[in-house]
Amino acid sequence: MTSPTPLIAGNWKMNGVAASLAEAQAVAAGIENSKARVAICPPATLVARAAAALGGGKVLVGGQDCRAETSGAFTGDIAAEMLADAGASLVILGHSERRAGYGETDEVVAAKVGAALRAGLEPIVCVGETLAEREAGDALSVVTGQVRGSLPAELAGKAFCVAYEPVWAIGTGLTPTTPQIEEVHIAIRAALVEAFGDHGKSVAILYGGSVKPSNAAEILAAAEVGGALVGGASLKAQDFLGIINAI
């Protein structure tokens, strides 16, 4: 069994202009022999400039979404090939903000995963339950169902990550307990092994949802946690480095 290589990825969401690239460069300069791969996913307007500013060094660049099609009359959308052409090497797919705000189903997410693979991008596929689903006792069934529905068979043998982000913890300051995180990550691992055999054992499972320097070490030490998908705390180099260097 190959141990998953941890990944700490920053999701800037709809934040950042050219001046913000100084924070990304400060992250690259401040990494201290991290055991993890590090990525920053800026808005699409900054992907090419981030790739140029970071120069293929310690910090990878990713996109925040892509369209399943290669091209066409889809005003405002971005193809996976466009992200790759701009210098991205990863892409976040199926984030709860896309699922809830744009009606993305598991089937839509799976099609986007296929597009990412087609373009040579590593998908970071997000899953997670709402507060109502957790309170109803459905967290594990919801999350494992999303894993099965959002990860197409063509991922077998390919590089990808799964990010568990409880919807109720994103941007709220609320964080599940360590046992709650471990329970879901262990269930995700079982679903990955069921779907992909031994390859499923080497897929990093990231945790996301109000990750910050003060709680990063405890979260990253939890069973089956192979990194973090970080929102607001990734916008400032000092905060993001506190998470990166906690692993």
> Other CB atoms closer than 10 Å to residue 69's CB: what's the count?
15
95 catalytic per annotation: yes
* Active-site choice (95, 133, 185, 224): 95
Q: Is residue 232 annotated as involved in ligand binding?
A: yes
Tell me if 210 is assigned to a ligand binding site.
yes
The CA distances from residue 123 to 4, 17, 43, 136, 247, in Å, are 15, 24, 16, 30, 22
Is 171 known as a binding-site position? yes
Check 23, 129, 165, 224 and give the catalytic one. Answer: 165
| Residues 157 and 203: beta-carbon distance below 8 Å | no
Q: Would the annotation count 231 as a binding residue? A: yes
The tally of CA atoms less than 13 A away on the side-chain side of residue 39 is: 28
199 is catalytic: no
Q: Is 12 annotated as a binding residue?
A: yes
**DSSP string for 62-123:** EES--BSSSSSS-TT--BHHHHHHHT--EEEES-HHHHHHH---HHHHHHHHHHHHHTTPEE
Catalytic residues: 95, 165
Which residues participate in the annotated binding site for substrate?
11-13, 171, 210, 231-232
Which residues participate in the annotated binding site?
11-13, 171, 210, 231-232
